[in-house]
Amino acid sequence: MHLVEIFLPLRDHAGTAFPKTLYDTVRTELADLHGGVTAFTRAPATGLWEDDEGDVQRDDVVLFEVMVDNVDHAWWRGYREALESRFRQDEVLVRATAVERL
């Protein structure tokens, strides 16, 4: 079993908040395709990273999680690319971690 996590920004590069409907669509897609989803949307996390010029960048992000038996890398790569387009991002972080259900 794997936990797939998707980190989506709250705002675009100009600081404009994305509409709620974008997140609603992601939640619906993931629930329909994977039988459930957990969305952490009320208390955004803050992501910090260093860009190519050495400047520290910041993003407030919401997190979506799904549990899958197997990771279909090709499907997730395509979905990540679709999210990058929708949210106008150079990169959207999608990661999978092997987990054990207790």
Q: Strand, coil or helix: what is 54? A: coil
Q: Strand, coil or helix: what is 26? A: helix
How many domains is the chain partitioned into structurally? 1
Q: Are 13 and 75 in contact (CB under 8 A)?
A: no
- Beta-strand relationship, 56-68 and 2-9: antiparallel
| Residue span of the structural domain in which 81 resides | 2-98
pLDDT in tens, the chain (102 residues): 999 999 999 998 888 999 999 999 999 999 999 999 998 877 777 777 777 888 777 778 899 999 999 999 999 999 999 999 999 999 999 999 999 989
Spatial neighbors of 97 by CB under 8 A, at least 6 apart, are 2, 3, 5
Q: What is the CATH number of the domain that holds 26?
A: 3.30.70.120
- DSSP designation for 17: B
pTM (2 d.p.): 0.87
> What does each C-alpha distance from 85 to 24, 79, 91, 102 come to in angstroms?
16, 10, 9, 37
